[in-house]
Structure 1
Amino acid sequence: MFIVPERDIADLMTREAAFDAVEKVFAAMASGDAYNFPVVREAIGHEDALYGFKGGFDRAGLTLGLKAGGYWPNNLEKRGIINHQSTVFLFDPDTGKAKAMVGGNLLTALRTAAASSVSIKHLARKDAKVIGMVGAGHQAKFQLRAALEQRDFEKVIGWNFHPEMLPNLEEVASEAGLPFEAVALEGLAEADVIISITSSFDAILHADHVAPGTHIACMGTDTKGKQEVETALLGKATVFTDEVAQSISIGEAQHAIESQILRAEDITQVGAVINGTHPGRISDDEITLFDGTGVGLQDLAVAAAVVDLAVAKGLAIEVDF
């Protein structure tokens, strides 16, 4: 069994490798070669934490396993460590033996950013020039860095509940040589692409904040009750997702389904666009929305990739387990 500690992930996994792994697993899901197991996610009644498991099996990539972890909202303030904590466990699909244990914190940020980046590649207008961000926390920086690689953006705009955090976005924009502007929510209508990455339980982004032709990647809703965009916006958009079952139960679409603005059959896996079985965007005026709920197969795909890199570079710790 191999162990790849959290401390080594940054030197092993790149945004490009994460993007490739996530794009391939989305395609495998849409073709029926990979599937996710039901998600377990619970409030444990201690430290206000949410804890759970996401797993699956990719027959094409022969990847089997799970990610265990969740959200400890007091970590940063009390302990100086990030609030999201997770570990990925991989198993040999031929024998069931434990194959690897991998630090999942950075991988979670990279795979989440890769998912929205994949959606931008396949669904945003080719001439997109302005990218808008809703949210400016730890994961927002990963999201923005990955997104900026998908189009020739000329400007970054952003909004956050706590404006003092907006310099996080300005820092990434500056790295890319782009101007940054803090805007009111109404100002997001200037954006050609919008990424929302918050932990909100109330709709932030409304239909009148979004211009025709915009692509929206909703990346923060992964639990029952969470909501980043109003249901009317999903009603106006062509909706895509990583996995329909999660989208309608714990993703952004849960509220539109409950209010009967949207039906499950109206939602398309983004992997179908990758595979060419769905056309994706069909007009420049169409609003496309990607409901990124975060599937276990994403975690397994990036973890398997990082294990291969760690073994090749002699950084994996091998133990007799």
Structure 2
Amino acid sequence: MKIVPEARIAELVTPADAYAAVEQVFAAMARGEAGNFPVVREALGGGRLYGFKSGIDRAGAVLGVKAGGYFPGNAERGMTNHQSSVFLFDPDTGQPRAMVGGNLLTALRTAAASALSIAHLARADARVLGIVGAGHQAAFQLRAAARVRTFDRVVAWNLHPDMLPRLGAVAAELGLPFQAVSLEELGSEADVIITITSSFAAILEDGHIRRGTHLACMGTDTAGKQEVAAAILGRARVFTDEVAQSVSIGEAQHAVAAGLLAAADITPLGAVITGAQPGRHVPDEITIFDGTGVALQDLAVAAVALSRAEERGIAVEVAV
């Protein structure tokens, strides 16, 4: 078995690599060539979450599992709050192939999924990017969004405003004016809104969102989590990485429970990527991408990391 350490991931996988890998695996899912297995997710107390996401991509010959979770005390220890590792197995024999550091890969694949939704669903004339959240992953989201669309400025809100200057510095690197705003201002000004928080209560209310907005909701991946009011999904066209996760642990769980949305109303983004389903119909409709984070995203980017590490001779070989 080979080990690809977390410290080597940045030199092996670029944001463009992650975007291409996630796009390909979403398309494979839509064609029925790849599938995710049920998620195991448990609360450990103190805001800590731990779980397993697994799946198989038959087209890409990838089988594996990501083990990890959210540990809110890590920032004070100088570590990222999200900690994970990806384990890859031979799909024919079941033998372990590799253990790959999953922290940076998680941020890259999450941002790639959001960017894919923006590329395929946001209005062509979208110019103002709004971001709700300013934690570790927010910077990845901003950079990924700016790669797929030309924005004129960025507006942002965070529960703790003192964290926003770090996001503002990223916007400055990209040459984008940045402004900290209220939620009301963010909703009235942004054409695209990315939510990337760990909230268990709706942050954006129905009245905040104007018609024509595209929302990429990227933080809700556990039962009980919520970033936007269910009523918003009730009047929007909803897309997702996987419908089963969307209605059980994603943002759609609340709208479904309230009877505002049915699973049949949700379109996999992969179907839009392959052309099997349309994306945005008209400029003034609200579109939402419920990014729950599927195992196949992690396996796809981990496979890229492993392949590059093998090519460069930096994967660590261990006996099993």
TM-score range, shorter chain: over 0.9
Structure 2 residue identity aligned to 1:275:
T
Where does residue 203 of structure 1 map in the other structure? 202
Deviates more, 1:68-77 or 1:2-11: 68-77
Structure 1 residue identity aligned to 2:6:
E
* Cα deviation 1:27-52 (Å, max 9, x = unaligned): 1111111100000011235x642111
Matches within 5 A, 1:181-260: 181-188=179-186, 189-260=188-259
Aligned mates of 1:84, 1:178 — CA distance in 2? 28
Shift of 1:318: 1.7
Aligned mates of 2:193, 2:16 — CA distance in 1? 21
Is the Cα–Cα contact under 8 Å of residues 243 and 295 in structure 1 kept in the other structure?
Answer: yes
Where does residue 36 of structure 1 map in the other structure? 36
Where does residue 56 of structure 1 map in the other structure? 55
Report SS of the residue matched to 1:257. Answer: helix
Report SS of the residue matched to 1:149. Answer: helix
Where does residue 299 of structure 1 map in the other structure? 298
Deviates more, 1:201-210 or 1:176-185: 201-210
Aligned mates of 2:43, 2:122 — CA distance in 1? 36
Structure 2 residue identity aligned to 1:49:
R
Structure 1 residue identity aligned to 2:277:
H
Report SS of the residue matched to 1:138. Answer: coil
Report SS of the residue matched to 1:52. Answer: strand
Structure 1 residue identity aligned to 2:310:
V
- RMSD over aligned Cα, in angstroms? 0.9
Aligned mates of 1:306, 1:127 — CA distance in 2? 35
Gaps of 5+ in 1: none
Is the Cα–Cα contact under 8 Å of residues 137 and 168 in structure 1 kept in the other structure?
Answer: no
Aligned mates of 1:280, 1:197 — CA distance in 2? 22
Where does residue 124 of structure 1 map in the other structure? 122
Matches within 5 A, 1:96-111: 96-111=94-109
Report SS of the residue matched to 2:20. Answer: helix
* Cα deviation 1:113-155 (Å, max 9, x = unaligned): 0110111111111111100000011110111110111111010
Aligned mates of 1:215, 1:237 — CA distance in 2? 9
Report SS of the residue matched to 1:136. Answer: coil
Q: Percent identity among equivalent residues?
A: 67
Shift of 1:110: 0.5
Aligned mates of 1:222, 1:44 — CA distance in 2? 15
Shift of 1:320: 2.3
Aligned mates of 1:292, 1:49 — CA distance in 2? 20
TM-score by length of structure 2 reads 0.98
Report SS of the residue matched to 2:202. Answer: coil
Aligned mates of 2:112, 2:43 — CA distance in 1? 27
Aligned mates of 1:25, 1:143 — CA distance in 2? 19
Aligned mates of 1:65, 1:29 — CA distance in 2? 15
Of 114, 135, 138, which aligns to 2:136? 138
Report SS of the residue matched to 2:115. Answer: helix
Aligned mates of 1:113, 1:11 — CA distance in 2? 18
Shift of 1:168: 2.0
Report SS of the residue matched to 1:293. Answer: coil
TM-score by length of structure 1 reads 0.98
Gaps of 5+ in 2: none
Where does residue 9 of structure 1 map in the other structure? 9
Deviates more, 1:68-77 or 1:138-147: 68-77
Of 163, 166, 169, which aligns to 2:164? 166
Aligned mates of 1:133, 1:262 — CA distance in 2? 25
* Cα deviation 1:255-308 (Å, max 9, x = unaligned): 000000001100010000000011110111011000000000100000001111
Report SS of the residue matched to 1:256. Answer: helix
Structure 1 residue identity aligned to 2:211:
P
Aligned mates of 1:83, 1:214 — CA distance in 2? 30
Deviates more, 1:165-174 or 1:194-203: 165-174
Aligned mates of 2:31, 2:169 — CA distance in 1? 39
Report SS of the residue matched to 1:126. Answer: coil
Where does residue 21 of structure 1 map in the other structure? 21
Report SS of the residue matched to 2:100. Answer: strand
Structure 2 residue identity aligned to 1:311:
E
